[in-house]
Structure formats: structure tokens, C-alpha cells
Amino acid sequence: MIHLEGVDKSFHGKKVLDGLSFNVKKGEVFGFLGPSGSGKTTTIKLLTGQLKADSGKISVFGKDAGEIAHPDQLQRIGIMTDNSQLYPRLTVRDNLLLFCRLYRVPIRRISEVLEMVDLQDAERTQVAKLSKGMTQRVLLARALLHEPDLLFLDEPTAALDPVTKERIHDGLRKIQEKGTTIFLTTHDMHEAEALCDHVALLHKGKVVEEGSPASLSYRFSSRMIHVKLHGGETVTVENTAEGAEAIYNYMSSGQVVSIHTAEPTLGQVFIEVTGRNLA
């Protein structure tokens, strides 16, 4: 779906992307993670024809970067960025109607997309009167109106409460089930773990680690096992034959309360790789 190879991009002599390479497969939710200012939004702009790379190869739907901004291509793409805006004095419905006309989408799609983001009741509400979470969901609904094959979401749930986030996540899962490929940037590691099939960590202009959230956690796990004993003590043993013997002894003497492996979270992996905390 998306292929980048050796992509460079500088602003005023400062290199932001430095040999960036990755692939996004059809149908997956791809999580693009990186600290603030690392170049995530810049990458989305390159992939949606809003910016040109200095060098390297970019293709989307198998077409070269130069063709991305062609109307036929854009028709297949949905974009929601942190600077996407609505007309505040119009109702939700009228905002979406404008986009229906622009994309030549049948008007019945309005109620379909509002249902996807659980906002049927707000159709006649003026946008200025919506909460932040509702506004985010209208923006998501708008990005979905023309049933894009590929959806770019730039921090879609930034600064939202956990319940609203969960609603948006449910909406995104439904969209993925319908076959849409989703490219998502986020600072929220729980979001990445909950939604993404594949994540890539961006650091100093390059992808430094990638894989499924589970495979990254596994790769960075220390293979240590924590055994909690009656009496409150927790002992840590290695995942080896000696460790097994130690656990055997604890268990056979009836001392064990619980046993845990120590898989790191994606957040811990990120800090280990980049030395920076994301959230």
C-alpha cells in the first residue's frame, strides 16, 4: 500500500527525515510512533502529496510520489490531521454536506459515517457547540465520507478522555474490518498496543525498530520471571533450567502466590530505543 525507501527531507538545512524506509501492507493498522518534532506529520504530508521529498523513493497504491496529488488518487485517501478544521457556524450535517458535494458522495453516507463514530444525535448541532472529543469524531467522520482505501490519522485521539478514545478505537476497528488500511501517528502507547498490527519507531529521521507490538515487547523482554511468595517477598529468576529448579522448589514448598513474566510495554521499548519518553 505504501512504500518508502531512503527518503530525506530537510527544512532550512535541518534534516528531519534521514533515509526513512518502511512499508505498509494492505488492510493493516500501521502505527508510526516518534517524539514530538521527529517528523511524523511531515511523513504524512509526503505521503499525501502536500510536500515533496528531497530524495528517495515514495509510492502509494503502487504509484510514484509525483502522482499522489492526482484527484483520482486523492479520492482513495482520507486524511485527519491535527490542523483539520470544520466550519464552526454550520451544523455537523452541513459541514459533511459540503464534503459530500466536493467528493461527489451520496448524502446517505452522512448518517452512515455519523453512526460509525457514534454521533447520530449531533447531526443538527452547530459545530461551535460541540465538545473537543465530538469535534474530533466529526473530523474522523468527514475523513471517512468517501470510503477511502487508505486513511491517514495524525494523533486522532490526542487530549481525549479514555471513554471517547475507546469509542474512536471501536470506530477504527470497524473501518479496518471493512478493508481500509490505516496509517496512524500517536503518542499514546496504549493506543498503539490496542489498535496497531504493526508499529514503527521513528528516531533521528529513521525507523529504528518495527514489528507487531507483541513482537517488539518480546524482543526487548529481559526473559526474567518474577515469583511472588507468601510473606510478601518477590524473587526474580532467569528463564533457564536453574530458574525452573528454583521455581520448582518454591512451588513444591507451597510458597508461591503468583508468577509473572516481565514483558515490557511499548512505552518501555520506546524509551530503551530512543532514550526519550513519548507521553
Ligand X SMILES: Nc1ncnc2c1ncn2[C@@H]1O[C@H](COP(=O)(O)OP(=O)(O)OP(=O)(O)O)[C@@H](O)[C@H]1O
Give the residues lining the site for Mg ion (CB under 5 A).
40-41
Binders in 46-75 for ligand X, by CB under 6 A: none
User: Coil, strand or helix: which one is 240?
Assistant: coil
Instruction: For residue 121, report the phi and psi dihedrals to the nearest 5 degrees.
Output: -75, -15
Count H helices and E strands in the chain, helices first: 10, 13
Residue with cell 471517547: 164
87, three cell numbers:
466550519
Between helices 162-177 and 132-144, what is the axis angle to 10°? 10
CB of 9 to ligand X, least distance (A): 8
Nearer to ligand X, 54 or 233 (CB): 54
Q: Which of 4, 20, 30, 34 binds ligand X (CB under 6 A)?
A: 34
Adjacent-strand bridge partners of 227: 235, 259
Q: Which of 7, 30, 40, 183 binds ligand X (CB under 6 A)?
A: 40
- Only one of the segments 34-42, 64-72, 87-95, 211-219 lies at the binding site for ligand X (rule: CB under 6 A); that segment is 34-42
Total residues interacting with ligand X, rule: CB under 6 A: 10
How far apart CA 130 and CA 269 sit, in angstroms, is 37
Question: What is the DSSP code (8-state) at residue 39?
Answer: S
- Only one of the segments 29-37, 65-73, 134-142, 247-255 lies at the binding site for ligand X (rule: CB under 6 A); that segment is 29-37
How far apart CA 250 and CA 228 sit, in angstroms, is 10
Q: Which of 7, 29, 38, 48 binds ligand X (CB under 6 A)?
A: 38
Residue with cell 467528493: 103
Cα 150 off chain centre by: 13
Q: Which of 3, 5, 11, 236 binds ligand X (CB under 6 A)?
A: 11
Nearer to ligand X, 50 or 125 (CB): 50
3-state helix, strand, coil in the chain (%, to 5): 40, 30, 35
- Only one of the segments 40-48, 89-97, 122-130, 215-223 lies at the binding site for ligand X (rule: CB under 6 A); that segment is 40-48
Element at 185 (helix H, strand E): strand 181-186
| CA distance readout (Å), 84 to 26, 136, 155, 172 | 25, 9, 11, 18
The binder of 42, among ligand X, Mg ion, none, by C-beta within 5 to 8 A per type, is ligand X
Residue with cell 531512503: 6
If one asks whether residue 37 binds ligand X (CB under 6 A), the answer comes out as: yes
Q: Which of 1, 16, 229, 273 binds ligand X (CB under 6 A)?
A: 16
Nearer to ligand X, 41 or 95 (CB): 41
CB of 40 to ligand X, least distance (A): 3
If one asks whether residue 213 binds ligand X (CB under 6 A), the answer comes out as: no
The binder of 34, among Mg ion, ligand X, none, by C-beta within 5 to 8 A per type, is ligand X
The binder of 213, among ligand X, Mg ion, none, by C-beta within 5 to 8 A per type, is none
Closest CA to 137 of 104, 109, 170: 170
The binder of 252, among Mg ion, ligand X, none, by C-beta within 5 to 8 A per type, is none
Which spans of this chain sit near ligand X (rule: CB under 6 A)? 11, 16, 34, 36-42
